[in-house]
Structure formats: structure tokens, C-alpha cells
Amino acid sequence: MDIIVQREALLKPLQAVSGVVEKKQTLPILSNVLLTIKDNQLLLTGTDLEIELIGFVKLDSKSAEGSTTVSARKLFDICRTLPDGIAIRLSLEKNYLVVRAGLSCFMLNTLPPQDFPSLEDSDYSVQFSLKQGQLKNLLTKTHFAMGQQDVRHYLNGTLLDIAENTIKSVAADGHRLALATLTDDNIGNVQAKVILPRKSVLEVIRLTGVDEEGAAAINIGDSRFRLVTPDYIFTSKLINAQYPDYNKLIPRGATMATGDREVIKQALVRASILSNEKFRGVRFQLEPSKLRITANNSDQEQAEEALQLEYSGEPLEIGFNVAYLLDVVSAVTTKVIKCIFKGPNDGVLIEGENSLYVIMPMRL
């Protein structure tokens, strides 16, 4: 291995691949990145045994094929701190990867590439393409509602429910639910229900932020999800579980309140300042054409916000976690926000553009 690449061409995929590599590993080689020269490209591969990411760097001149593994963090830190526009030479000398740039020289320990694990190939029965921006937008509308280390492991991810030119992204943590829908003829008449793990969802959002118009090929098998873009191949194991029927969690037939989304958001932000730091509760007092938001904390401090709403139902008092509300009003992009209330013990349904959210009440 003896190649020359520009710093910027190497830095972007190296940063992405380093994000997949866990900092603390039981196997030393899992903290490494696999460098492979093949078909006049430098392939960078990182894995944590659950997900795998391959990035590509095109080489200007033909080079002999070969591979090695080296610390992902150390190589990234070296490239990151080198000057802009500099050429980097990577050469394999005995058991070291030698990195030269200008008058700088670094010798990094390597591990045998044959010991580097890879996710076994899978048959992908479902295949379709979307624009990267579409996929990113779909997952961004729901990812914040995923569970974190929940004993119900199927909640620690996002359900992708695909059928008849439509893909639904569903996330829930037992206290709230987020659902977003995308309809596109490119999806085709395919059917699949899979649960993508939390880390994988966040990686897909990160990877699809570069080129919103670029193509994203999606392949789904019984146990694998694969995303292929011009710059990356991302593969993830799926959560093997049955996701609950999310349609049963959506309240029906209740009273609607509508108001300016930005006005409501700013009122919630101000009220949250004096909410209890642990429980983050705020109280909604709904009256015809009016909403009063109050919050207090253990220091007996109190915040009160009053704003105009289009609401003609019976007076209603209900409490919510203000952080959950702020997540939703930040995800909704419409100017006017629609909230459907059923009662003090039922969740509120908030409607956005091609999305809806359910937040369960809390006792204050």
C-alpha cells in the first residue's frame, strides 16, 4: 500500500466511519478502520458488529491492491489537525502505516486485515430508491421519540412500515408516539415491516445530510438493512421483534385547538425555564379561545403564559412533559399547529405535515 490522497478527500469519509466505531471495545480491532485499495479506490470500513459503514475515496493514480487496519481515532485526529489542502501519503511499511504530509511523519500500529470482522451478506428481498433528503426528513420527524435502553427492546428503534408506494416511520417510548408518512412512486408495490435500531437511525440521518438530492438505494432483508449512496454503503442489523399496533395508540374523535406554532413554541420555551428540573411538567388550562400555560419548581418559583387559541370546547386542565412538547413543535413545520384533546387522562394528538404525534399526560 502506497497512495497519495488530498486531506479533504480523506477527512470526510474518515470522520463518518470513525463515528460508527465505538470508543470502548472489548476487541482491539473494533477500534480500527479497515483501509482497502480496490478498483482504484480507497475503501474505509468501520464496524461495531451491529452496524457497518464503508466510505469511498477515489484515487488519482493506479495503485496496487492491498489492505490493513489502523486506529480510526488516531488517523482521524492526525488528518483533522493537518493544514487545509495538504497531500497525505499513506504507505505500509512492515507492521506500521506511515502517514506523511509535508514535513510531518507519523507511524501507526496496524492489525491484520484478515482479523477485521464484517457483517455477513444477506438476501435483500425489498429494494427501492429515494432521494436522500426524503429519507432524512422522514426519520428526522420521528427519531426523537425512540426509547433509550428500554427493557422493551423493540422501542429502542424506529419502525419502518412499507406498503404500496408508502413508507411510515414510527417511534415511541411509552410516553409519546411519533409517526411520519412518505408517499413516492419509487417505493413501488413492496411490503415490509422492520425495526431499525436507535444508533442506526441516527447514523442514517447523519449520512443523508450531505447531498439532499442524491439517490439513496434502500435494501431490506430478514435481518439486515442496507443504505447505498454515491459516497457510502451503510449496513445494519435489525431488531428482531414484533412492533405493537401503533394505530391503536392514536386518539380519535375529540376537540381541536389550533394556534400559531411559533407563538406556542416560544411560550413553552419560557415556561420550561421554571419547570421542575427532574419532571419537566407544565400545566395546560384550556378555555374557549385561550390557553394558559403554567410551570413551577421545588423553589416555589412559577411561570405563567397566556395566549390566544382557536378552541371552543369545554374547559380542560391537563399536564405534560414540556420537553416532549418542545420536541414536537420543533419537528412540525407548518405555521399553524393542530392539537386534538380528548380529556384530562388521554393523550393529546398533534398534527403536522404528513406527520402526527401523541403525547400522554402526566400528573402534576
Indicate the average pLDDT of the chain: 94
Tell me which of 88 and 363 has the higher pLDDT. Answer: 88
pLDDT band at 61 (very low <50, low <70, confident <90, very high): confident
Per-residue pLDDT averaged across 229-246, rounded? 95
Per-residue pLDDT averaged across 131-148, rounded? 95
Residue 64 and residue 48 in contact, taking contact as beta carbons nearer than 8 Å: no
The per-residue pLDDT for range 259-299, each reduced to its tens digit, is 999 999 999 999 999 999 999 999 999 999 999 999 999 99
For 289, the 3-state DSSP assignment is coil
The per-residue pLDDT for range 10-48, each reduced to its tens digit, is 999 999 999 998 777 788 999 999 999 998 999 999 999
The domain over range 2-115 is classified in CATH as 3.40.50.11540: no
Fold equal for 2-115 and 250-359: yes
- Phi then psi for residue 301, to 5 deg, are -85, 155
| pLDDT at position 64 | 86
Burial class (CB within 10 angstroms; exposed 0-12, middle 13-18, buried 19+) of 278: exposed
Residue 119 pLDDT greater than 90, yes or no? no
Residue 114 pLDDT greater than 90, yes or no? yes
Per-residue pLDDT averaged across 69-87, rounded? 96
Question: Whose CA is closest to 246, among 144, 169, 191, 190?
Answer: 169
| pLDDT at position 162 | 97
For domain 250-359, the CATH superfamily is DNA Polymerase III, subunit A, domain 2 (3.10.150.10)
| pLDDT at position 11 | 96
For the chain, percent of residues with pLDDT exceeding 90: 86
In this structure, of 16-30, 77-91, 103-117, 127-141, the range with the lowest mean pLDDT score is 16-30
How far apart, in Å, are the Cα atoms of 360 and each of 51, 55, 117, 194, 260?
33, 41, 43, 25, 22
Domain at 124-247: CATH code: 3.10.150.10
In this structure, of 116-120, 214-218, 310-314, 329-333, the range with the lowest mean pLDDT score is 116-120
Residue 321 and residue 295 in contact, taking contact as beta carbons nearer than 8 Å: no
Q: Which residue has the cell 412538547?
A: 325
pLDDT band at 210 (very low <50, low <70, confident <90, very high): low
The per-residue pLDDT for range 162-187, each reduced to its tens digit, is 999 999 999 999 999 999 999 999 99
| pLDDT at position 213 | 75
Per-residue pLDDT averaged across 325-344, rounded? 95
Residue 336 pLDDT greater than 70, yes or no? yes
Residue 121 pLDDT greater than 90, yes or no? no
| pLDDT at position 364 | 77
Domains of the chain, residue spans: 2-115, 124-247, 250-359
| pLDDT at position 270 | 97
Beta strands in 175-315, from DSSP E residues, in sequence order: 176-183, 191-197, 215-221, 224-228, 232-237, 255-260, 281-287, 290-296, 302-308
